[in-house]
């Protein structure tokens, strides 16, 4: 059986990484659907959705995303099996606010790490104290701490002088979970794209707190394997994990991020794309393991 090519849905404004992944997807025969800024509030059948393969149907018509339109990315189909009445497997690469609106309507399952995953890692992998708590509890902090949202950017990831500097209850639900950690400065930082229990792609993205792209070294990949050996079963099959080394040579996990919302930086774009496709694909294709990690 021949299956139509897979489809990659993209948001209105593309980052440099998104443009790289778009070019890679087109080269590999995927079709691209890009939304305009007005498309999301207008709904999934609006003219703002350009590039849907001709003849595909929208969810209300066939339980599968689609809208008549011109197809982009003609070429050899890349597929891991047909889904839905049209046979199109739909994937997504976008930020959380866009993804949360679009993914459910397209039948896409978004994989992410548990909110407290970083806090549950052994100290040997983090080199610092990390706790998951509600922001209401974090308001009581009376020391500097690095505070961030576990899986999105709703709470700016910053060093706060104390809990009184956090966004207040007028802006954030006090029950919102945040990660609170000791302040640790990294000399160099790397992004690991993890797929099926292995480091599938990797690249440097920062040095001394500033953007600096480059290849990973052997120590980076070795530490990535250590993380997977210790905690790989507590992650979905496709995820991004950032790691770093401080000035004393200590390696630590910085954070886990959803691959579907993460930049690829200097990583091999083909291998980064493969991680993204698994991390945000048809809910009907989820493995039993990954069902526990759906956003």
| pLDDT digits 0-9 by tens, 233-266 | 999 999 999 999 999 999 999 999 999 999 999 9
pLDDT band per the 50, 70, 90 thresholds, residue 74 = very low
At 12 the three-state DSSP class reads coil
Q: What is the pLDDT of residue 50?
A: 58
pLDDT band per the 50, 70, 90 thresholds, residue 153 = confident
Q: What is the pLDDT of residue 78?
A: 42
C-alpha distances out from residue 69 to 6, 19, 33, 45, 62, Å: 16, 21, 10, 10, 16
Give CA–CA dist 40/48, Å, rounded.
Answer: 8
pLDDT of residue 79 exceeding 50, the answer is no
Q: What is the pLDDT of residue 49?
A: 60
Q: What is the pLDDT of residue 57?
A: 47
| pLDDT digits 0-9 by tens, 22-46 | 999 999 999 999 987 655 545 555 5
For residues 274 and 259, is the Cβ–Cβ distance under 8 A?
Answer: no
Q: What is the pLDDT of residue 35?
A: 85
Give CA–CA dist 279/266, Å, rounded.
Answer: 19
Cβ-proximal residues to 269 (8 Å cutoff; 6+ apart), any chain:
20, 21, 23, 24
List the single range of 18-27, 70-79, 161-170 with lowest mean pLDDT. 70-79
pLDDT of residue 83 exceeding 90, the answer is no
pLDDT band per the 50, 70, 90 thresholds, residue 73 = very low
pLDDT band per the 50, 70, 90 thresholds, residue 2 = low
Q: What is the pLDDT of residue 5?
A: 73
**Mean pLDDT, rounded, for 192-221:** 97
Q: What is the pLDDT of residue 68?
A: 27
Q: Across the chain, what does the average pLDDT equal?
A: 87
pLDDT of residue 211 exceeding 80, the answer is yes
């Amino acid at each position: 059986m021949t299956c139509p090519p897979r489809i990659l849905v993209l948001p209105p404004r593309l980052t440099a990484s998104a443009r790289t992944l778009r070019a890679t997807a087109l080269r590999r025969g995927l079709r691209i659907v890009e939304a305009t800024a007005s498309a999301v509030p207008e709904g999934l059948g609006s003219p703002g959705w350009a590039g849907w393969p001709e003849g595909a149907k929208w969810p209300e018509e066939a339980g599968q995303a689609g809208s008549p339109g011109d197809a982009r990315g003609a070429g050899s189909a890349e597929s891991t099996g047909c889904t839905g009445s049209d046979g199109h497997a739909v994937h997504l690469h976008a930020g959380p606010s866009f993804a949360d609106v679009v993914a459910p309507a397209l039948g896409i399952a978004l994989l992410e790490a548990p909110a407290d995953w970083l806090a549950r890692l052994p100290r040997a992998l983090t080199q610092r104290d990390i706790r998951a708590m509600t922001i209401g509890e974090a308001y009581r902090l009376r020391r500097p701490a690095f505070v961030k949202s576990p899986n999105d950017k709703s709470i700016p990831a910053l060093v706060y002088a104390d809990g009184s500097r956090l966004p207040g209850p007028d802006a954030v639900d006090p029950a919102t979970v945040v990660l609170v950690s000791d302040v640790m400065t990294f000399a160099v930082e790397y992004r690991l794209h993890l797929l099926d229990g292995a480091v599938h792609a990797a690249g440097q993205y920062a040095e001394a707190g500033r953007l600096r792209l480059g290849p990973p070294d052997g120590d980076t990949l070795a530490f990535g394997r250590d993380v997977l050996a210790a905690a790989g079963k507590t992650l979905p099959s496709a995820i991004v994990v950032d790691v770093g080394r401080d000035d004393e040579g200590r390696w630590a996990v910085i954070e886990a991020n959803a691959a579907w919302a993460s930049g690829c930086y200097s990583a091999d774009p083909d291998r980064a794309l493969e991680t993204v496709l698994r991390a945000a694909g048809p809910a009907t294709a989820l493995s039993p393991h990954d069902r526990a990690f759906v956003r």
